[in-house]
A and B are shown apart, each in its own frame.
Chain A
């Protein structure tokens, strides 16, 4: 309790409050602008924080980080333009909602879901920090391999209706992700002697090209018709049916976020993917996913926001960064002479608890900030295409360029835009390609690491109860997916055999 008071008294210092507000506003803006992700933004403003007090600096950087996750869904819903892979999942059902004229509702739901997910994440962060730390360390290559494999199996159904097409896309995404230096032997894969390719392809241009640019090309081809967006308050409030549907998915999503967030090497994208796949699986109408289901945005948005909050657990308490963005956070603390690690909470209680309390304040500010903004964003959609689309293309070009100040990434984004267009014309969904692109390197890394640690013994991957159980779940889920259509057919036949009680036959 006294920790909370200490934290609040730190977080409510005018300077820290201002930093928090500045951070979340900047974060929201950056999240909304397609292509400029939290990582690029944090790297950009990092030098500004060097002159600030360490607590103020980290409060601001953290605000940008979780603020971007709030704002990130906006462009996904309005324009099918994700800035991060976790928001890419939001495109799947958020964009169809916008096309049906329900953009306001979708934005409202994601804001609420983000707040709920973020809040649950902070509670977990506050209460369970010591427990979760042990769990994060207990996860080795065998456990990660099993978990990521499970994610693969679960997501294979996301995308087009034809599962074979999705698997083909996942494999292509996996192939694309292998470009760059081989982590294990330092050899160069598909780099064609170009230095830009040594570090592999960046996610942002790939995602923006596949989703955003291809969408623009498609709409131009289709002559640019879309639903007129109404911007009255009533039209933006979710219906009672929407509220009912979003409750459980948000809670489940937040749960996934709290599980994957603290694990170094998975993070918000895996959390959002798992949440979406779960909602689709537990739903009675899985075929409606991808056509504007409320559950399909509420779950993933709650989970990625829970994950960004809980990602601070290993970063602060172990000094182990879960994501590249968290590595920058550690760098920001270190340059101020604050060393993240098990001693941080004891040595710097004001910083630690102040940061945690600033998360609460930040999330509240984001809620207050985002709700009124919804009408502004929705109004954007009523701008004529001939003005809107060129501006978006400029923005995503800048976003691509800003990753490493290189025109190479702009070219890459354009290339993937054309590829995305061609694929979608042929009935392939771009989402599985992106999922393959994100998950394959994780799978490969842990597979090969486990192979080394187990000295080539395949049983190493089932050597812990956790890994073994998750692997069994993979097989069960995989078997079910293969046998599913046959079972459903049989059940359908049996239902037809039952005489119709209504007698309308």
Chain B
């Protein structure tokens, strides 16, 4: 083959790919960037979703881990990727609501992305070491607001994580002075909680699941509008008189800005059946999660935008700025 015909071939190929991206998407493997390392929470959620998407789309959907910078490096990469539907992102509360509120990031969490659908929405669970003299959230609020509360600690997997913000929000809402003890990750934070050196932790359900089963920690309340199907005996915060304390994390699929509408629709339709796939439901349940696809791509976009506003206001608190 001469050089000329080779170049021509490549050019034709490129044109064909560009047009067919609109016609018969997907024509080849789709890559979902997980902006965290393999084996983490986001990675597990994304891989289970990716397997479902492969079945629905009839093409392999591959997960690629691009960790670092608290998820901002992988997110920035997708923000700059071609909007052809072959490079997607599994974004999270951290990458799209929290980090951009805490520091400069290389992307605009709203303008640079095309939201497709949420995969999982998880709520914060308030858990205590079994030795803590409180069996309900009401007891706990009385205890932490008293003088004894000033000697109590809550832990998190780092500054600006959901668990940290939840704890400070709790302090603010209940007039308590719990001290924040950060750790290198949610898993590491469990050791001192189980041992009783830290009394409280407020994080998404998966962090505690096995420890609740074994009785190493006791769940007091879930920070959601309604009770979780996974823990039906745990009352919500509002049920126990703590209002304005509903928070959690979301994990969802999105592409770079300007993703063609039909591509968004195909991907959305595939995501929409996530909670009907028995394997997915079972696997998420084992992780302490529930599949929660959005009602429409627009609804997911509104959800992200609302979260961005909520986190902006919540983080506008002197304890998060040092």
- The residues of A with any CB-CB pair to B shorter than 8 Å are 42-44, 46-47, 50, 136-141, 181-188, 193, 195-196, 198-199, 264-265, 318-321, 324, 327-332, 334-343, 404-406, 445, 449, 452-453, 455
Contact = CB atoms under 8 A, between A and B. Distances in A.
A196 B287 contact: no
B30 to A, nearest CB: 15
B68 A199 contact: yes
A331 to B, nearest CB: 3
Given A137-B191, A343-B210, A332 B69 contact: no
B39 A43 contact: yes
22 contacts: A46-B39, A141-B192, A183-B183, A184-B159, A195-B106, A196-B69, A198-B72, A265-B188, A319-B187, A320-B194, A328-B38, A330-B187, A332-B39, A337-B282, A339-B209, A339-B286, A341-B210, A343-B214, A404-B67, A445-B184, A452-B181, A453-B153
Given A43-B37, A327-B187, A341-B213, A140 B197 contact: yes
B214 A342 contact: yes
B38 to A, nearest CB: 4
Given A335-B44, A341-B210, A452-B179, A318 B194 contact: yes
A198 B74 CA distance: 13
> Among A140, A339, A445, which residue has the most Cβ atoms of chain B within 10 A?
A339
B44 A331 contact: yes
B182 interface: yes
Contact of B69 (A47, A136, A187, A199): A199
B158 interface: yes
B227 interface: no
Contact of A47 (B41, B47, B180, B190): B47
A388 B8 CA distance: 42
B257 interface: no
A449 B184 CA distance: 11
Given A140-B197, A339-B209, A453-B153, A183 B159 contact: yes
A186 B319 CA distance: 11
B210 A339 contact: yes
B187 A320 contact: yes
B73 A340 contact: no
Given A140-B195, A198-B70, A186 B322 contact: yes
Contacts of A453: 153, 181, 197-198
A141 B184 CA distance: 13
- Closest 6 interchain pairs by CB? A331-B39, A341-B210, A186-B159, A328-B39, A337-B286, A342-B214
A476 B40 CA distance: 43
Interface in B66-113: 66-70, 72-73, 76, 102-104, 106
A278 B85 CA distance: 58
A14 B178 CA distance: 54
B192 A327 contact: no
Contacts of A198: 68-70, 72
A183 B158 contact: yes
B63 interface: yes
Contacts of A139: 191
Contacts of B183: 183
Interface string B143-176: 0000000010100001110000000000000000
A320 B68 contact: no
Contacts of A341: 210-211, 213-214, 216
Contacts of A449: 181
Given A137-B191, A140-B195, A196-B68, A187 B322 contact: yes
Contacts of A327: 39-40, 185, 187
B242 interface: no
A453 B47 CA distance: 38
B65 interface: yes
Contacts of B43: 331
A183 B164 CA distance: 12
Contact of B44 (A195, A319, A334, A343): A334
Nearest to A344: B210
Contact of B216 (A186, A195, A342): A342
B48 interface: yes
Interface in B39-65: 39-41, 43-44, 47-48, 51, 63, 65
A321 B210 contact: no
B154 to A, nearest CB: 11
A24 B210 CA distance: 30
Given A332-B39, A335-B47, A195 B69 contact: yes
Nearest to B151: A455
B191 A404 contact: no
Nearest to A314: B191
Given A183-B184, A199-B69, A335-B283, A328 B210 contact: no
A262 to B, nearest CB: 12
B190 A50 contact: no
Contacts of A199: 68-70
Contacts of B70: 181, 198-199
Contacts of A330: 39, 187
Given A199-B68, A328-B38, A405-B66, A340 B181 contact: no
Contacts of A182: 159
Interface string B189-233: 011101101100000001001110110100000000000000000
A133 to B, nearest CB: 10
Contacts of A42: 39
Contacts of A452: 153, 179-181
A137 B210 contact: no
A388 B90 CA distance: 42
A335 B185 CA distance: 18
Contacts of A338: 286
A497 to B, nearest CB: 56
Given A331-B43, A341-B210, 4 more contacts: A198-B70, A318-B191, A321-B187, A337-B283
A195 B67 CA distance: 11
B159 A185 contact: yes
B107 to A, nearest CB: 11
Contacts of A136: 191
Contact of A195 (B73, B191, B194, B320): B73
A185 B180 CA distance: 10
Contact of B213 (A184, A185, A264, A343): A343
Contacts of A445: 184
A198 B68 CA distance: 8
A342 B215 CA distance: 9
Contact of B210 (A183, A319, A329): A319
Contacts of B213: 339, 341, 343
Contacts of B159: 181-186
A185 B210 contact: no
A341 B214 CA distance: 8
A334 B183 CA distance: 21
A320 B184 contact: no
A476 to B, nearest CB: 27
Contacts of B39: 42-43, 46, 327-332
A183 B158 CA distance: 6
Contacts of B41: 331
A264 B188 contact: yes
Contacts of B48: 335
B167 to A, nearest CB: 13
A187 B159 CA distance: 9
Nearest to B283: A337
